Structure 1
Amino acid sequence: MTSIYQGREQTEAKHFILRKYLQTLAFKALHGGWNLAYIDGFSGPWQSRTPDHSDSSFMIAIDVLKDAQAQVRASGKKARVKCLFVEENSASFAQLHPAVTAYHDPANEFLIETFNGKFENAVDQIRRTMTNSFALTFIDPTGWTGYEFGKVRPVFEHAPGEVLLNFMYDFVGRFTASSDPKTLASFDGILGQGWQQRLDPLVPREEGLMALFSEQFRLAGGFRYVLNTPIEKISDRTHFHIVYGTRSAEGLAAYRDVEHAALKDHGMRRAFAREAIRENKTGQSDMFGAEGAASFAEMSTEAQFASIKCQAKDWLRDQLPSCPKPFSEVWPKMLDRFMVRKTDAKDICVELAKAGEIKDTWRTNGSRRRKPDDADQIDTA
């Protein structure tokens, strides 16, 4: 257990995703010759337990971006990074501003700006920060207001650019069940006008609300792919969803890799936390202890992944009548629909080939490759 995250394991999972994905994106964008812009909305700090705010999203981002810039520059390439941190609360901003501007370094093209006000009111400054840059926008509100899609659409539409958003489902799920008209109307900006009538009554409420939100999110940014990662509390209740929007198949693949690692890590940390709570209540430890609980959690997570992979395999079987198609067209559609990685999509093709359902085209002409590449045709046997 990481002590600074004790009791807020869901925050650790969120920071895991932010750190790992930002590392991947920063290296790729900067190595590719892009300037990189990082926008942090609702920056905080909130519930930070460290004097240097190292457990906050803004310091995690600065740490990752400075390291990426240094490594890219060491390879002989230019690397310009611009950051904008937005916070409305005056007390939080008073902590945020000196903490982040201490890293403002124009001489080395590591630029930091702040904005004290509503995220929705920062759109013009955000757009200036994004100019001529690949942009990642991280939106981490404490509720569901302050980022109405109609108001922040120019931020979402920036290309090249991607968005990570913390959708606070725990709050949304409760307050969308309110009978207060004003409260219900406050969701129009993220769920769309008439959302109550469009909410599918035939699916679980969480699934229905996520479908509405994801569609509005997709439309706001013109994203080709929108994924959402549920992060649960210790109690096994969803606390929030990390929603990711991109127009890039490469980004899609990178995010699925990070998501897979994050959910495995989060599952084990929740198991450790549950065991610690049980020991505190009873004064006794389980015969297998926290390590045993974590091992069981890992097996449970892997079983869930295996089940999803089976669903993805069935989906590909259904697609076979419309084949042949290059693998480059198959795997993005699979990853868009299912929580699987590109390597899982390759494994599924190998399994279907061994079963005689598709051709192992990646092994023709004397090739010794064991798995398909993007150019290989996926075709029925």
Structure 2
Amino acid sequence: MTNVYQDREQTEAKHFILRKYLQTLAFKTLHGGWSTLAYIDGFSGPWQSKTPDHSDSSFMIAIEVLKDAQSKVRAAGKKPRVKCLFVEENAGSFAQLHPAVSAHHDPANDFFVETFHGKFENALPQIQRTMSNAFALTFIDPTGWTGYEFDKVRPVFEHARGEVLLNFMFDFVNRFTASSDPKTLASFAGILGPDWQQRLDPLLPREEALMALFTEQFWKAGKFSYVLSTPIEKISDRTHFHIVYGTRSPKGLEAYRQVEYDALKDHGMRRAAAREMIREKKTGQTDLFGAEGAASVAEGSMEAQIASIKHQAKDWLRQQLPTCPQPFSDIWPMMLDKFMLRKTDARDICAELGKSREIKETWRMNGSRRQKPDDNDQIERP
């Protein structure tokens, strides 16, 4: 257990996703032809930071990752430019944020850091200047459900060369959407859409119904090709929040699904270890395998969950498989969009269907020894 995140395992999972995805994105964009990467951090905080240098805050994690990526890309002979904008409304938090991030403003080395003291919704002109001529990742991490009404921040979402990571505070939303106060209920229209109560599907479990409304509005606001939602649970196994990701790129979809898998695996093991430590503290009884054993069991549980999802995805592919050939490059994005799986899982599924002769093993034609399909291989019935 990382001491700085003790009793904040869900925050650790959120920061894990931010760190790993931003690392992947930075290298892919700056190595892949983009000269400028912009990072927008709304609701920057710090909130509940437990380190003097704020290394456990989203803004310092981002700066660390981006400076490292820029340095490595520069070592490869390129001249990458990084622009960061950190937005915070709370005066006390901004007083900590501004000096911490401004110390890393380094125009001579094409690393630019700006701050905005005010509401995220009011920072649009500065955000758009920062995004100009750049690939952008926007990270929105509110403490509640207001301050980012989609109609007001739509230009940020619609930035064609960009992606969005948003922390949807499900636990709070779930609690307060059950309120009887008309003003409170009306405050959700900005993210759930007009007449959201009438549109809430009564046939779905409440979490699914709320997430369906939210992801629909999120998708519309950014006109994204893919919107994914990653539930992050507390130690008690109750969903605390969802990390919602919007992209227009199959490559982004592929990268995020891998980060999501790694994050949930790590988070599950940490939650299990934390529960075991709490149990030992309450009972005074130490298990032979302790926290390490509990984490191992959690890892096996996740693998079983993935196996179940792969089974569902296999049935889906059987139903969706067209009568005419379709390249694997078209199949796997549809599968990853629908199921919490990685590209490697999609390849496994096709390989298994090939072995059972439900589809042709086109990847093994012409003497090839490949066991799984690549993007250019056709997926078709025998």
TM-score (norm 1): 0.99
Partner residue of 1:302? Answer: 303
The yes-or-no answer on 1:277 pairing with 2:278 is yes
Partner residue of 2:116? Answer: 115
Rounded to whole Å, the distance in 1 between the matches of 2:296 and 2:367 is 42
Partner residue of 1:28? Answer: 28
Partner residue of 2:333? Answer: 332
Rounded to whole Å, the distance in 2 between the matches of 1:89 and 1:36 is 27
Rounded to whole Å, the distance in 1 between the matches of 2:52 and 2:82 is 25
Please state how far the C-alpha of 1:280 moved relative to its aligned partner.
1.2
Rounded to whole Å, the distance in 1 between the matches of 2:290 and 2:138 is 40
Q: Deviations 1:323-348 (Å, cap 9, x if unpaired)?
A: 42111110000000000000100000
CA contact 2:38–2:135 (8 Å) conserved in 1: yes
Moved more, 325-334 or 284-293: 284-293
The yes-or-no answer on 1:290 pairing with 2:273 is no
User: Tell me, what secondary structure is at the counterpart of 1:138?
Assistant: strand
The yes-or-no answer on 1:13 pairing with 2:13 is yes
User: Tell me, what secondary structure is at the counterpart of 2:374?
Assistant: coil
Partner residue of 2:53? Answer: 52
User: Tell me, what secondary structure is at the counterpart of 1:111?
Assistant: strand
CA contact 2:200–2:213 (8 Å) conserved in 1: yes
Partner residue of 1:244? Answer: 245
Q: Deviations 1:182-202 (Å, cap 9, x if unpaired)?
A: 000000000000111111000
CA contact 1:33–1:79 (8 Å) conserved in 2: no
User: Tell me, what secondary structure is at the counterpart of 2:321?
Assistant: helix
User: Tell me, what secondary structure is at the counterpart of 1:112?
Assistant: strand
Q: How does 1:303-318 map to 2 (within 5 A)?
A: 303-318=304-319
Rounded to whole Å, the distance in 2 between the matches of 1:328 and 1:263 is 26
Partner residue of 2:130? Answer: 129
CA contact 2:323–2:381 (8 Å) conserved in 1: no
CA contact 1:33–1:78 (8 Å) conserved in 2: no
Rounded to whole Å, the distance in 2 between the matches of 1:180 and 1:324 is 55
Aligned residues: 381
Please state how far the C-alpha of 1:317 moved relative to its aligned partner.
0.5
Partner residue of 1:220? Answer: 221
Partner residue of 1:229? Answer: 230
Structure 2: give runs of 5+ residues left out of the alignment: none
User: Tell me, what secondary structure is at the counterpart of 1:244?
Assistant: strand
Over the aligned positions, Cα root-mean-square deviation in angstroms equals: 0.7
Please state how far the C-alpha of 1:11 moved relative to its aligned partner.
0.2
Please state how far the C-alpha of 1:367 moved relative to its aligned partner.
1.5
User: Tell me, what secondary structure is at the counterpart of 1:274?
Assistant: helix
Partner residue of 1:368? Answer: 369
Rounded to whole Å, the distance in 1 between the matches of 2:142 and 2:324 is 44
Please state how far the C-alpha of 1:321 moved relative to its aligned partner.
4.0
Rounded to whole Å, the distance in 2 between the matches of 1:130 and 1:298 is 39
Rounded to whole Å, the distance in 1 between the matches of 2:265 and 2:32 is 30
The yes-or-no answer on 1:204 pairing with 2:202 is no
Rounded to whole Å, the distance in 1 between the matches of 2:59 and 2:31 is 23
Please state how far the C-alpha of 1:287 moved relative to its aligned partner.
2.4
User: Tell me, what secondary structure is at the counterpart of 2:376?
Assistant: coil
Alpha carbons of structure 1 residues 323 and 202: separation in structure 2 relative to 1, 3 Å: farther
User: Tell me, what secondary structure is at the counterpart of 1:145?
Assistant: coil
Please state how far the C-alpha of 1:371 moved relative to its aligned partner.
1.1
Rounded to whole Å, the distance in 2 between the matches of 1:322 and 1:120 is 48
Rounded to whole Å, the distance in 1 between the matches of 2:172 and 2:113 is 32
Partner residue of 1:171? Answer: 172
Please state how far the C-alpha of 1:283 moved relative to its aligned partner.
1.4
Q: Deviations 1:94-151 (Å, cap 9, x if unpaired)?
A: 0000000000000000000000000000011000000000000000000000000000
Q: Deviations 1:204-230 (Å, cap 9, x if unpaired)?
A: 000000000001000000100000000
Partner residue of 1:189? Answer: 190
Please state how far the C-alpha of 1:322 moved relative to its aligned partner.
4.1
Please state how far the C-alpha of 1:365 moved relative to its aligned partner.
1.2
Rounded to whole Å, the distance in 1 between the matches of 2:56 and 2:273 is 20
Rounded to whole Å, the distance in 2 between the matches of 1:119 and 1:321 is 45
Please state how far the C-alpha of 1:282 moved relative to its aligned partner.
1.2
Partner residue of 2:3? Answer: 3
User: Tell me, what secondary structure is at the counterpart of 1:371?
Assistant: coil
Which amino acid is 2:137 matched to?
A: L
Partner residue of 2:78? Answer: 77
User: Tell me, what secondary structure is at the counterpart of 1:71?
Assistant: helix
Moved more, 32-41 or 148-157: 32-41
CA contact 2:328–2:378 (8 Å) conserved in 1: yes
Alpha carbons of structure 1 residues 58 and 361: separation in structure 2 relative to 1, 3 Å: same
User: Tell me, what secondary structure is at the counterpart of 1:241?
Assistant: strand
Partner residue of 1:378? Answer: 379
TM-score (norm 2): 0.99
Rounded to whole Å, the distance in 2 between the matches of 1:307 and 1:119 is 40
